[in-house]
């Protein structure tokens, strides 16, 4: 008898980076929270990969803040780094999370070899899971 996996409290939908006419970029991240629907975060960044991934992280943080608005959660990006570790490319994100009087610095990590934008958004989710009570 197979046990059913519990449904995810937050489901990643997509992360996208689009170029803007001024040479910068715009990142959009969508997540879904059952019972609340889709939440979308949008952020603009510079022209390089580091700036684009920081924009993705900010968009993911904004989408989470929107999804958990009723709980008073606020997620702020402190930094994003792409690193080589154990022969893999990983994205590491540092975020500051607050909810009421509770505040915490958090780290998230995700394998970034296939799609750096997706990995950046997932790293934000990874870092905030326990804080938001999703694990």
Q: How confident is the model at residue 131 (pLDDT cuts 50, 70, 90)?
A: confident
Tell me the pLDDT tens digit for each residue of 49-70. Answer: 999 999 999 999 999 999 999 8
Letter string b/e over residues 20-52, b meaning 16 or more CB atoms within 10 A of that residue's CB? eeeeebbbbbbbbbeeeeebebebebeeeeebb
CB contact at 8 A, 32 and 7? no
pLDDT in tens, 18-41: 999 999 999 999 999 988 899 999
**In this structure, CATH architecture of domain 11-128:** 2-Layer Sandwich (3.30)
Question: Which of 72, 120, 69 lies closest to 94, judged by CA?
Answer: 120
- pTM of the entire predicted model: 0.91
Q: Where are the domains of the chain?
A: 11-128
């Amino acid at each position: 008898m197979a046990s059913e996996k519990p449904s995810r409290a937050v489901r990643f939908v997509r992360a996208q980076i689009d170029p803007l006419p001024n040479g910068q970029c715009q990142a959009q991240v969508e997540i879904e929270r059952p019972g609340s629907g889709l939440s979308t975060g949008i952020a603009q960044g510079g022209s390089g990969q580091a700036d684009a991934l920081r924009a993705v992280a900010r968009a993911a943080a904004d989408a989470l803040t929107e999804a958990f608005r009723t709980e008073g959660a606020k997620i702020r990006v402190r930094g994003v780094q792409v690193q080589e570790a154990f022969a893999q490319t990983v994205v590491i994100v540092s975020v500051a999370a607050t909810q009421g009087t509770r505040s915490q610095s958090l780290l998230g990590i995700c394998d970034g070899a296939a799609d750096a934008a997706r990995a950046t958004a997932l790293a934000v989710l990874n870092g905030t899971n326990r804080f938001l009570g999703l694990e």
